[in-house]
Structure 1
Amino acid sequence: MIDIAGWAPEPEETTEVVGAGPSEALAGLLDVEPPGEELPPLWHWLHFLERPAQRDLGPDGHPREGRFLPPIPERRRMFAGGRFRIHDPLRAGDAVTRRTELASTAVKRGRSGEMLFVTVRHRFLRDGTEIAVEEQDLVYRSGGAASRPEPPRFEAPAVDAPWTLSTTADPVMLFRFSALTYNAHRIHYDEAYATGVEGHAGLVVHGPLLAILCLELPRRAGLKVRELSFRARRPVHAGQPFVAAGSPDGTLSIHAPGDATAMTATFA
């Protein structure tokens, strides 16, 4: 049974000068031109990175301990979604302070047993003024070896929408995105671990990468996004063709093989 009684981490604060290099690198990954001075929504995920020592990592590649990592045994982490509100964009050259706090926790029971839902809130400030607020929803569960995964499907989804962006993430793309976000979770690069230990059907495409691809649709259409919300519904695996679809009405989604919706999102 998941027990986090007494877990109440104190807020923390870090300040960073936003460099242009990470955005240029992500633009290369996406085969687009660098965005210029303003960071597109969610591209701040390439900044304020944690860089733990190798000895501090657990068997899954994540840190064993951390201020906002819940104290539960055999912890496994999943990206569930989040929200982002922008008052003024982050810009290259800005000195930005990120204040992080635990926003909420909830224990729920799913098909695989008990799960701990954790929401972490980040407030971004420039010269003492709040310019953006982000909430990240993460799911943690405890457990032993995973069950045998179902074989993945590879048929390209058929999607009819005003905006579409078709992608197939190969291991090279996943490696590069892991490097840009300093994400050492083995489900993104160690197929034997992803399938044999965590029960996935292959290497897992990062949830944040799917969210960024959703937001590429209004960005490429020339729209300014001030608020967004997204929810991960099921994983997409390396080699599976998927489609980011959207509409000017503010709806976005990721469609995977088998007529599956992997992520839904809204923007304004």
Structure 2
Amino acid sequence: MAVDVFDRIVASWAPPELTAQDELDAEPATAFAALLDQQSPVMETGDPLPPLWHWFHFPEWPAQSELGEDGHLSDGAFLPPLPQRRRMFGGGRLVVHAPLRCGDTVRRSTRVSAVRTTEGRTGKLLLVTTTAEFSVDGEPRLLEQQDIVYRMAADVASVAPPARAEPAEEEDVPGPWVLTVNPSPVLLFRFSSLTGNAHRIHYDRAYAAFEGHPGLVVHGPLLALLMLELPRRFDPGRRVERFSWRAKRPLFDATPVEARGGPDGRLVAGTSTYPAAVTGRYE
């Protein structure tokens, strides 16, 4: 039955494009900088937003009655009609034509650009890619793609890391830049609030265990942002024009997260056990 559902979605699901508009003010950037114990780089009109910091804009606050048991919308424009779905952020790509700036009125146009299936450790997976174009007064600024992974609730198995650590490959742990963050429940809660993300795996330990996780799950977008903090902090004169990243395994709140990278463009985020749980590259 599950195979029929997956195949039917791939063959026929084609949601329409959606547009939204937001005026970028400094408050969300100030809030995220405070979460990282940093001074905000965005204070006045005209200041550029660091790459991906637009994630703190275009807020969506659905009615409580519209949420499912996992905290996500029960139904939505870009949510596939997969019964009892479980959702994870898989990765993405960003092209920066020109930075978004504080005070800009930004138009975002988003569409589903790919739907496909694959086999994972927990069963069949549905991979949905969305493409968003951001413009100001008709001028293209950003092109962003996000890869979201869906699976059937019945297929969810434990995703706890194995007891024996996998050896780290030298090529997977670039340097010399390092940023260490403690993904405490408080930090994860603040990030969820800042992004309007009600997914319970990030703040509800009992529910996270119900989905097979050994702890609170660190947000995939937070890990991507931490990786991009490296060129922003250690090479501030360099403009990031492209960034791609892929999540290879989830990380949890019990262990400090390290983002590592260097001027060669390679980036990773992980723990001492799994130093390259998330990989990335910037140009």
- The bucket for the TM-score relative to the shorter chain is over 0.9
Alignment deviations for residues 64-84 of structure 1 (CA, whole Å, 9 cap, x no partner): 111110001011100000000
Tell me by how many angstroms 1:150 deviates.
3.6
- 2:217 alignment partner, one of 204, 218, 234: 204
C-alpha distance in 2 between matches for 1:265 and 1:105: 22
How many residues are aligned here? 265
TM-score (norm 1): 0.94
Instruction: Provide the residue aligned with 2:87 in structure 1.
Output: 77
Matched position secondary structure for 2:153 = coil
Pairs within 5 Å for 1:71-150? 71-144=81-154, 146-148=156-158, 150=160
Pair 1:225 & 2:235 matched: no
TM-score (norm 2): 0.89
Tell me by how many angstroms 1:178 deviates.
0.2
Instruction: Provide the residue aligned with 1:265 in structure 2.
Output: 280
C-alpha distance in 2 between matches for 1:62 and 1:83: 23
Instruction: Provide the residue aligned with 1:17 in structure 2.
Output: 23
Tell me by how many angstroms 1:262 deviates.
1.2
Uncovered stretches (5+) of structure 2, i.e. residues with no partner: none
Pairs within 5 Å for 1:156-171? 161-171=175-185
Pair 1:46 & 2:61 matched: no
Instruction: Provide the residue aligned with 1:64 in structure 2.
Output: 74
Matched position secondary structure for 2:276 = strand
Pair 1:34 & 2:40 matched: yes
Letter in 1 for 2:25: G
Task: Quote the RMSD (CA, aligned, Å).
Answer: 1.9
Letter in 2 for 1:137: D
* Aligned 8 A contact 2:174 2:261 in 1: no
Judging by fraction of residues, say which structure has more helix. Answer: 2
Tell me by how many angstroms 1:149 deviates.
5.5
Tell me by how many angstroms 1:146 deviates.
4.1
Q: Percent identity?
A: 49
249-258 or 13-22, which moves further after superposition? 249-258
Matched position secondary structure for 2:187 = helix
C-alpha distance in 2 between matches for 1:125 and 1:82: 19
Runs of 4+ in structure 1 over 4 Å off: 157-160
